[in-house]
Structure 1
Amino acid sequence: MNWKTLYTSKRLGDEKKYENEKSDPVRNAYLRDYDRLIFSSPFRRMQNKTQVFPVPGPIFVHNRLTHSLEVASVGRSLGKAVGVKLSQKYPEESADFHEFYRYDLPTVIATACLAHDIGNPPFGHSGESAIRNYFDNLSGETKDTLEAELSENQLNDFRRFEGNANAFRILTNADNGHKLTYTAIASIVKYPTDSTNGFDKTTGFIGTKKSGFFDSEIEIYRKVAAELNIRVLDDERNTYARHPFVFLMEAADDICYRIIDLEDAHRLRILSVQQVIDLLLPFWEKDEKTYNYIKNDKLHRIEDNNEKLSFLRAMLINLLSQKCTEAFLEHEKEMLAGNLNKSLIDILDTHTLACLKNVDKISISDIYNHKSVIEIEIAGYNVIGALLDEFVTAILHPQRPKSGKLLQLIPKQSNIKQGDLYNNIQIVVDFVAGMSDLYAVDLYRRITGITIH
């Protein structure tokens, strides 16, 4: 892969606008990508989707929307830092090259960050598990029908449902009006393989830990990869190298969720302020001057505990962003060859990795297994499972009176096709995965007559 061919302002599905937008002095194609996402319905719905802790509540915690906005802010900074360095490293390149990497790359990374969670279902990460669980445990006529009519790859799209692949589907759907640039679309695909060849940790390749596109979008990704000269690793297995920009989007997310989850846990009184300080302060132990300034000066002058953690959060985001920028530039050749098999956060220095490991340990034991988190996960299994059961049954038996009523609830722009079971089940999953937590619970209550709290 080559930095010169890894970007284009051409739009997927609207390539004719390419020349017109290139000459727009105010809003180029990359800024339009960002704006289109901000104003899109799937993006707005993230406001009522759980990040970790249940929403809404009396104490503000992050939802998918606020998380994505913060990740975009960090991603923009990473894009700027890397873009300027690449421009300086290759002074002989064209004016277009320098224009893109100095001024447009930050917007591309910010856009990818905005979209990185757009495919996630309601109820946090348990939403993905709930969808997988439903299709994994089908029985009777429903199981027999799906196994008879769907290919292995199509079945795996449901049994191994993945929010990243769903995001790619949402952003490339010809009917939803996004029509983003090839560059923005490629920058969100963390796992460039299909559902059958993903979820394979034996390969040692970071891109096959999960999946990045469904069977229905394989040809679309092929088109994106061809346009940007993304390396094909295994054509028969639909497996590609990661686009290098993905590493920056991923780093922004990795930085944010680790720190922000601690901040939210403190606001909810799950962790004390001292517990969080004890986790974050060690990141500067190798920098004695900064460590002493923070510990013995700055933290003593800030009286409000929330503000103390806000200060530490800002400092740590800056520190980790600098380290990830350096890691990106140090591993440039591996990325361009498609051989970098770790995230940027996982190739930082040993001291930083040890500090991150301590954060992860507490997050798993005290945050992700907290009662309130487990309760929302259980609710997710119940609600999503019940909704899928109702609508999948309606797809399989459209002649039943109740089925017709249920299918009327699915947005009219969804194209249910007679005789195309894969497409129709996908539409059901699109509908359920696109719901906010509140809408899913409300619809569940209305359909089943059961009230949950």
Structure 2
Amino acid sequence: MKWETLYTDRRTGEREVKGRTYDPVRNPFQRDYDRIIFSSAFRRLQNKTQVFPLPGSVFVHNRLTHSLEVTSVGRSLGKAIGERIAAKYPGNSTEFREFYRHELASVIASACLSHDIGNPPFGHSGEDAIRTFFEGMEGDMRTMITDSLTENQLMDFRKFEGNSNALRVLTHNYNEPEPGGYRLSFPTLASIVKYPCASLEGFNKHIGLIATKKSGFFDSEIPTYVQIAETLEIPRIEGHNLVFARHPYVYITEAADDICYRVIDLEDAHRLHIVTLQTFIDLFLPFFDEEGEGFGSQAYVLRKIANINDDNQKVQYIRASWINLMIQKMADVFMEHEKELLAGTLQQDLLNCLPERESKLIDAINNFSVKYIYNYRSVVEIEIAGYNIIGGLLKEFVHAILYPKQSRSGKLIRLVSPQFPLTLDPTRRYEDIQSLVDFIGGMTDLYAIDLYRKITGITIPEIK
């Protein structure tokens, strides 16, 4: 891959290749950002669980606030890396230098803003619930579905992945006549596809490819991603059918996300009195310089927080300082691995490329978070609720499209928004199941709970 060919103004849904349209206010990638932030799918992230249950007396992060913070970090990281690329290749075109100095940050910001837009309700347990439902189907339901779908289509559901769904949300036109979905630029879309492979070849961690750890596009979006890859000259991985090298910008989006959730989840845990201030300090202070007294040293951080009265403010100061430090470290790591990034051979994320000392500190954060945060009682309870609610909704609605002539099925089908069209044609069952997963996966936590209660009779709906 070449830095010169990894960006373009082209968008999904365009019927012909167009030149850049001059806009004195926004570059093409800022338009991407605006289209995402004003979308209903993005707004719904405000009521989708990040880690801790929503809502509560203490306001913790949801998917929307998390996405906004990742965007902030990603924009800064994209700017730092873009400046370094432009400075390293001063002989390249003016367009090249302008893109990397001023526009790469907008690409990464847009990608970060939308990186979780495909996540279903109830955090990652919602993904697991969809997978579990389609893996565990029995009897006639299993037979009817497996007989009418290809193996790759079936794996879209049995290995349902929020990253793949994000690409679908952003590019699928649903029930609208115009193609292309949000009509975002190819670089923005390429920057969110962390695992650029089809479902059938994904979720394979044994072959050592980062691209196949999960999956990045559903069967229905294969033509879209192939067009993006061919335009940006992203190579296929030899020996595989639909596995591609990662676009280098993906590593920047991923790093911004990795930085945020490692510190933000702990900040939320501190606000909820799950983690003490001293524990927070013990986990993050060692990243700073042990020697010296100046900015960036442990002594400097300790002096600053000693002059802060509120413990939450102390945590916020450490968080801000740590994020700033990690942005610089990630920019350094990115440029150190430039050759591998362009060759498509870097098989680990940027955080795992840190020197051994920092890697061990990251491992300590990971281990602590798994033990004390991600397995905290209320977190586990919301995950179990997610399994039951998502699984219950799928059971009701999938049965309805398989047996549409039953009286109850007809009533359930009428509850599905026209935005998610159902053909009820047995030869188009893949499309219908996708529409149902689009419908359920796009719900907020509260809407999913409310609908589940109503259709199961737990709550009797009021006449309005």
Give TM-score scaled by structure 2 length: 0.95
Tell me the SS of whatever aligns to 1:82: helix
Shift in Å, 1:23: 1.3
Tell me the SS of whatever aligns to 2:237: strand
Cα distance between partner residues in 2 of 1:40 and 1:17: 26
Query: Match for 1:369: what amino acid?
Result: N
Give 1:420's match in structure 2, choosing from 408, 420, 428: 428
Q: Deviations over 1:69-98 (max 9, x none)?
A: 000000000110000111111111111111
Residue ranges of structure 1 left out of the alignment (5+ in a row): none
Query: Match for 1:270: what amino acid?
Result: I
For the structure 1 residues 9 and 235, does the alpha-carbon distance in structure 2 shift closer, same or farther, using more than 3 Å as the test? farther
1:68 equivalent to 2:67? Answer yes
Cα distance between partner residues in 1 of 2:30 and 2:411: 41
Query: Match for 1:263: what amino acid?
Result: E
Q: Identify the residue that residue 10 of structure 2 maps to in structure 1.
A: 10
CA contact (8 A) 1:11 1:18 kept: no
Cα distance between partner residues in 2 of 1:235 and 1:351: 36
Query: Match for 1:340: what amino acid?
Result: L
Tell me the SS of whatever aligns to 1:313: helix
Q: Deviations over 1:101-139 (max 9, x none)?
A: 111100100100011100011001111001101111000
1:209 equivalent to 2:217? Answer no
- Bigger Cα displacement from structure 2, 21-30 vs 432-441: 21-30
Cα distance between partner residues in 2 of 1:28 and 1:280: 37
Cα distance between partner residues in 2 of 1:306 and 1:440: 33
Cα distance between partner residues in 2 of 1:4 and 1:155: 38
Shift in Å, 1:287: 4.6
Q: Identify the residue that residue 150 of structure 1 maps to in structure 2.
A: 149
Q: Deviations over 1:336-386 (max 9, x none)?
A: 000000100110111111111111111000000000100000000000000
For the structure 1 residues 304 and 409, does the alpha-carbon distance in structure 2 shift closer, same or farther, using more than 3 Å as the test? same
Cα distance between partner residues in 1 of 2:399 and 2:46: 30
Cα distance between partner residues in 1 of 2:248 and 2:418: 38
- Bigger Cα displacement from structure 2, 299-308 vs 349-358: 349-358
Cα distance between partner residues in 1 of 2:289 and 2:395: 53
Q: Identify the residue that residue 262 of structure 1 maps to in structure 2.
A: 266
Cα distance between partner residues in 2 of 1:132 and 1:267: 33
* Root mean square deviation, CA, Å: 1.4
Q: Identify the residue that residue 449 of structure 2 maps to in structure 1.
A: 441
Give 2:305's match in structure 1, choosing from 296, 299, 306: 299
Matches within 5 A, 1:121-136: 121-136=120-135
Give 2:223's match in structure 1, choosing from 201, 206, 219: 219
Count of residue pairs the alignment pairs up = 450
CA contact (8 A) 1:150 1:422 kept: yes
Residue ranges of structure 2 left out of the alignment (5+ in a row): 460-464
1:119 equivalent to 2:118? Answer yes
Tell me the SS of whatever aligns to 2:147: helix
Cα distance between partner residues in 1 of 2:453 and 2:111: 35
Give 2:381's match in structure 1, choosing from 368, 372, 375: 375
1:314 equivalent to 2:320? Answer yes
Q: Identify the residue that residue 335 of structure 2 maps to in structure 1.
A: 329
Cα distance between partner residues in 1 of 2:25 and 2:238: 41
Cα distance between partner residues in 2 of 1:408 and 1:30: 38
Query: Match for 1:148: what amino acid?
Result: D
Shift in Å, 1:305: 0.2
Identity over the aligned pairs, expressed in percent? 55
Cα distance between partner residues in 2 of 1:270 and 1:252: 25
Q: Deviations over 1:278-317 (max 9, x none)?
A: 111111154543111112x112101100000000000000
Give TM-score scaled by structure 1 length: 0.97
Q: Identify the residue that residue 400 of structure 1 maps to in structure 2.
A: 406
